[in-house]
Amino acid sequence: MSAEEFSVGQRWLSNTESELGLGAVIQVDFRSVEILFPATGDARIYTKKDAPLTRLVFAEGDTIQSQDGWSLTVSQVEETQGVLVYHGLREDTKANARLPETLLDHQIRLNQPEQRLFNFQLDSPKWFDLRLNALRHQHGYFRSSTIGMAGARIELIPHQLHIAAEVGRRHEPRVLLADEVGLGKTIEAALIIHQQIRTGRAQRVLILVPDSLVHQWLVEMLRRVNLAFAIFDESRCDALDDSGDNPFETEQLVLCSIDFLKQHPKRHQQALSAGWDLMVVDEAHHLAWSAEQPSEEYLLVEQLAGSVPGVLLLTATPDQLGHESHFARLRLLDPDRFYHYETFLEEEQRYSQLADAVAPLLSDAPLNARQVKELQRLAPEVMARNEALDEREAKDTLLHQLIDSHGTGRLLFRNRRAGIAGFPKRELHSYPQDLPEEHQCVVGGDDLTLALYPERQSALVNRWCDIDPRVNWLLEFLPSVKPEKVLLICASAVTAQQLGEVIRQRSGIRHSVFHEGMSIVERDKAAHYFSDPEEGAQILLCSEIGSEGRNFQFAHHLVLFDLPVTPDLLEQRIGRLDRIGQTKDIQIHVPYLKGSAQSVLHDWYHQGLDAFSQTCPTGSGVFETVKPLLIGACMKPDEPAHKEALVETSQRLNQQLKAQLEEGRDRLLELNASGEGKVDALIEAIIAQDSDLALSRFMGRLLDAIGVQQEEKGNDCFILRPTESMVSQLPGLDPEGMTVTYRRRIATTLEHVHFLSWDHPLVHHAMDMVLTDVLGKSSVGFIAEPSLPTGAYWLEALFVLTAKAPAKLQPGRFLPQTPIRICLDAQGQAVDLEFDIKRPVGRKMAQQLIKALQPAVSKQIEIAGKKAHSEANQILHDAIETMQATLGREVQRLVDLKQSNPAVRDSEIEYIENQMRALDNALKHADVQLDALRIVVNNP
């Protein structure tokens, strides 16, 4: 307590309850004083003798705030009847003004460390350590190479991490992710989006997917990378219309179906004008294009791609709607570069020759003169930069440069199963059935659809299930594999519904249907019911929409009730089960009608393409060529010669195309996409982080200090629960409690457990909470160190160096908020000591100590400030040098690359050059601020 007398109107701070704000004396009597804290409405009565109160007194030069919101810079202080009146200049009007302390802002919370220290606003000394460590960890986080990737709840799969690292760090990436079905394009996109957001490159993200995948994307983004997207549909937009704002501007992360935008031109316009940093389009093979008739979807995405700087297109089957459409999708990514289809084909031809020429680089044998010459002919610029080619390392360098300069390599990433180990086998089970009388009439007719799907004959609409032997086969098949799950895919929603009805009427088997006639919520319910291992449906009957993007790898049996006409669609169907996470061999069951077009299609896929038991990357190429033969054979199933010719031609073509593929341009593309030899360091860094205990230790202490209860649950899991004594709300902490783990293995097996990592929002919120609060800004603690002089004291001053620049420039990459800790002894000499504080110094003693040491400590703070500035100068100097060297290298690489690869955009180079200039300026003006002070006294 101050020795001063209390007078009504004076302003005092509570030393024990600083959250009450600034109090005013409202009554004084002989023994006690009553203080009202207007900010919270609380009043307290204290005994005058030992009231835990500090008089708030400002001095010349301080800036103070009035209750009415204006500020005053104090130039003179006068006292009348025990109450202070501040005189000075108002900041808003620049006029002279007076502010009696009675009119000071009640909300005042001292936030300057020295103000808090000298006004005895002290916290437990552990908060100083938490502030310091939070800053140190945050600093490490922003400089780490694994940011946005290490915290994803995924298995570490090299090709995905490579693509994520390669694309996620680009400025405004525009790429086509085209891995074969089920290799993890959604995960790659999630990792890219997450990195872009975490590093400040992107804030606003729009994801467009087919209707049937909206919910799955929502769940994957949340579950894998903790990003909560908002689903937009008409009812949501409608509800937001009243506000008059563009509904798409109300959220940063938006997920919607592409159909929704197609059906509502107004929403499309709003989405266009809302402005995004990044757009993701899944199942991009639907964006069909031809010069005469581009599809509506294509035009819609084209408009968006024209204004959104970052674009990720995803498709497993880029050639599904023809090579021209593939070209058109590349054009969405870079219209300047892909302007003419014929030119593109010529270029492809050249890249294919280059890929051939690269083959010798993969072997350890020395290159002969002819091989070198061929490389020089095809890639003169790259070869000019590489002279010696004998060593493995030199070959690898050249290889990587060639990959880099490879035509579409920078914007097209395609991995094939063939290059990735660990996929299960696929086994085909065919069930030829007798062709019923009623279906005979479509055989040899002129309607291909009816020939393939005879159940659609109008005369049979309501009774085909009674006569089609595939139905009975299904009813017998299901019990034979019970309780194993079965996914059935057929071409139409009606077929799926009718089969569902038959199963309902004629068997007690639990089933569910999934088709385009159902709402998204109904479909998700159906998929969820199917996925329930104990109580769920044994069979899910899907129309073709079930064949895209969905994750059904928990099932091992796939029934193809009919067959699609294109190999890509067949691959999409099988891909529901044959995807990462499938644990058993996949059983593919195909019932078909003997002597019908179905049997032709079956034999074509099986014998002509071998497309059931393996992925068939050449399928669509063969299909394009044999289409007339295929249709002919389907229309004449009773003339075996047609089918034989079809199968024979397809086999031959398939072999040829496979051989071409093998030799052709894919090798460079695949090397580029798989990251072979490039991704090891990243994976090692993530594994090292996974096994480092720093996070769990730090979070354990931090959560404890915040007041979160942590209960060990076994299995490396903890339950976190809020308590009544929390110092403040922690955003992201589930009020009902949440189970967390720091172990990747647990997080990837137990769905409901949160994976806490340096990327996790709860960790960020907890650190932000400490750093934005005043907790720990001033404290006094005891150490008990026999080797140091008893009674000696030190001042620890924590400074923070910050460069102020927009997040988009990523100042954090070179100068994240950097803590500078200066420790001085009583003589003001810097010492290299870190303290293990045993206990806080009692409040009364701390106050006495601070009073006694105030002049000395003020001096020390001044010395510490000087030292911090000089350290900061060195840090800044290094940061500017690193920034210039790193970004300079990036510019040079792109400039070199541009000579041989026009896929490098000028805007990429310009962006980095501008970034260098802006960062240089921001770093030069970085600012050092005192963040916290702690006095440490040795009391062994």
The residues of the shown chain that bind ligand ATP, judged by CB under 6 A, are: 154-155, 157, 160, 179, 181-187, 316, 549, 551, 553, 575, 579-581, 748
Nearer to ligand ATP, 315 or 900 (CB): 315
Report helix angle 296-307 to 323-333, nearest 10: 20
Is the Cα torsion angle 820, 823, 824, 830 positive or negative in sign?
negative
Nearer to ligand ATP, 185 or 934 (CB): 185
Helix (H) or strand (E) holding 208: strand 205-209
Nearer to ligand ATP, 420 or 846 (CB): 420
DSSP character for 495? H
Any alpha helices (H) in 636-788, and if so which ranges? 640-663, 666-674, 680-691, 694-706, 744-749, 761-772
Distance of closest approach, residue 179 Cβ to ligand ATP, in angstroms: 5
CA-closest candidate to residue 413, choices 675, 147, 681: 675
Residue 33: which region, alpha, beta or left (left: phi > 0; alpha: psi -120 to 50)?
beta
Nearer to ligand ATP, 155 or 704 (CB): 155
What lies within 8 Å, CB to CB, of 846 at 6+ separation is 120, 122, 780, 840
Does the annotation list 183 as a binding residue? yes
Nearer to ligand ATP, 283 or 796 (CB): 283
DSSP character for 138? H
CA-closest candidate to residue 762, choices 733, 739, 720: 733
DSSP character for 6? P
Distance of closest approach, residue 547 Cβ to ligand ATP, in angstroms: 9
**Whether 133 contacts 127, CB under 8 Å:** no
CA–CA separation, 560 vs 252, rounded Å? Answer: 41
Nearer to ligand ATP, 101 or 180 (CB): 180
DSSP code per residue over 822-870: EEEETTS-B--------EEPPHHHHHHHHHHHHHHHHHHHHHHHHHHHH
Distance of closest approach, residue 312 Cβ to ligand ATP, in angstroms: 12
What lies within 8 Å, CB to CB, of 850 at 6+ separation is 117, 118, 120, 780, 857, 935
**Whether 774 contacts 109, CB under 8 Å:** yes
Nearer to ligand ATP, 739 or 748 (CB): 748
Please give the span between the terminal C-alpha atoms of the chain, in angstroms, as a whole number. 28
Does the annotation list 250 as a binding residue? no
Does the annotation list 184 as a binding residue? yes
CA–CA separation, 192 vs 185, rounded Å? Answer: 10
Distance of closest approach, residue 180 Cβ to ligand ATP, in angstroms: 7
Any alpha helices (H) in 84-184, and if so which ranges? 113-118, 126-143, 158-168
Q: Which residue, judged by CB position, is nearest to ligand ATP in the bound state?
A: 186
Distance of closest approach, residue 617 Cβ to ligand ATP, in angstroms: 13
CA–CA separation, 190 vs 148, rounded Å? Answer: 10
Nearer to ligand ATP, 551 or 810 (CB): 551
Distance of closest approach, residue 531 Cβ to ligand ATP, in angstroms: 11
**Whether 511 contacts 503, CB under 8 Å:** yes
Tokens of 77: 């202080």
Amino acid at 452: L
**CA distances, 477 to each of 335, 506, 527, 563, 738 (Å):** 52, 13, 21, 18, 43
Distance of closest approach, residue 295 Cβ to ligand ATP, in angstroms: 20
Nearer to ligand ATP, 314 or 706 (CB): 314
Is the Cα torsion angle 785, 787, 792, 796 positive or negative in sign?
negative
Residue 630's SS3 state is: helix
| Residue whose structure tokens are 């929390």 | 726
Other C-beta atoms closer than 10 Å to the C-beta of 339 total 10
Residue 278's SS3 state is: strand
Distance of closest approach, residue 615 Cβ to ligand ATP, in angstroms: 11
| CA angle, 832 then 836 then 841, to 5° | 110
Distance of closest approach, residue 581 Cβ to ligand ATP, in angstroms: 5
Nearer to ligand ATP, 171 or 198 (CB): 198
Nearer to ligand ATP, 545 or 597 (CB): 545
Distance of closest approach, residue 664 Cβ to ligand ATP, in angstroms: 23
Distance of closest approach, residue 613 Cβ to ligand ATP, in angstroms: 19
Distance of closest approach, residue 213 Cβ to ligand ATP, in angstroms: 8
Nearer to ligand ATP, 580 or 746 (CB): 580
Does the annotation list 707 as a binding residue? no
Tokens of 440: 């005979």
Does the annotation list 181 as a binding residue? yes
Does the annotation list 913 as a binding residue? no
Distance of closest approach, residue 752 Cβ to ligand ATP, in angstroms: 16
Nearer to ligand ATP, 558 or 872 (CB): 558
**Whether 812 contacts 200, CB under 8 Å:** yes
Nearer to ligand ATP, 248 or 552 (CB): 552
Residue 271: which region, alpha, beta or left (left: phi > 0; alpha: psi -120 to 50)?
alpha
Instruction: Count the helices and strands in the chain (H runs, E runs).
Output: 31, 31
Distance of closest approach, residue 489 Cβ to ligand ATP, in angstroms: 13
Q: Which parts are annotated binding residues?
A: 179-186
The binding site for ATP consists of 179-186
